[in-house]
Structure 1
Amino acid sequence: MPLTNNDILKKLRVALKLRDDDIVEILDLVDYKISKSELGAFFRKIEHPNYKPLQDQILRNFLNGLVIYKRGPKEQPPEKDADKKAE
């Protein structure tokens, strides 16, 4: 049986020792707002009536936010000075 997005998020949560607050914060770093109750639906068993499948977009945002959370924000490359081109 293949891993679902829900399984991937659960495994990352355990491996990185993340709490719900941490995951909400990570998603907030990429401007994706989610409540703890919405997040809880992803961690339920598939048979539970409140189970919700994790969409690719949310997992993608979580992974992008996780990079920022662990490494810090990406530094912007220095802008090329227009005056240097003229010389």
Structure 2
Amino acid sequence: MNNNDVFKKLRVALQLRDDQIIEILNLVDFRIAKAELGAFFRAEDHPNYMECGDQVLRNFLNGLIIHLRGTKENPTNAADVIAKNAEALKQPRAEKPAGKPAAPRPKSNSGAKKGPSQNKKYDKAKKPAPIVENVKFNNGKNKKG
């Protein structure tokens, strides 16, 4: 049994979707793309199959602990979190509201210059607040000092 099999079994047992797994990995500051995550769950003979490394699985397990138990300051009940995941799987994903038609896009003047204040798309966005604060991982190592 390799890391991919363990990852697949945890995903099914805990009823997690790909976006939930990405959020769990973000709890321990481990960024991964959805496509890369999908490669872990493919069949071994698929051309895009990728072996799940120890680091990915270790970070997922550490994030899963925070996701299910919560932090020391804000503990949660694991059974409630799993029940919430089960309900989220049953509900269809709401991508776009079907009742509203899309608003027409305004035509842009190709000759007009756009500065940084006029073009909000390229302005620097504020860095979001960290989800988990003051979490220290020492992984069982005793450090002096």
Q: CA RMSD in A?
A: 1.1
User: For 2:30, what is the secondary structure of its paired residue?
Assistant: coil
Establish whether residue 23 from structure 1 lines up as the match of residue 21 from structure 2.
yes
- Gaps of at least 5 residues in structure 2 are 74-133, 135-145
**TM-score computed with the length of structure 1 as normaliser:** 0.82
Q: How many residues were matched structurally?
A: 74
1 or 2 for the larger relative contact order (CA 8 Å, sep ≥6)? 1
- C-alpha separation in 1, matches of 2:4 and 2:13: 14
After superposing on structure 2, the runs of 4+ consecutive aligned residues of structure 1 that deviate more than 3 Å are none
- C-alpha separation in 2, matches of 1:11 and 1:48: 19
Whether the 8 Å CA contact 1:44–1:51 is kept in 2: the answer is: yes
- C-alpha separation in 1, matches of 2:70 and 2:13: 20
Whether the 8 Å CA contact 1:26–1:62 is kept in 2: the answer is: yes
CA displacement at 1:74 relative to structure 2 = 3.6
Higher Rg of the two aligned structures: 2
Identical pairs, percent: 66
- C-alpha separation in 2, matches of 1:74 and 1:66: 14
Please say which of residues 5-14 and 65-74 is displaced more in the overlay.
65-74
Residue 44 (structure 1) aligns with: 42
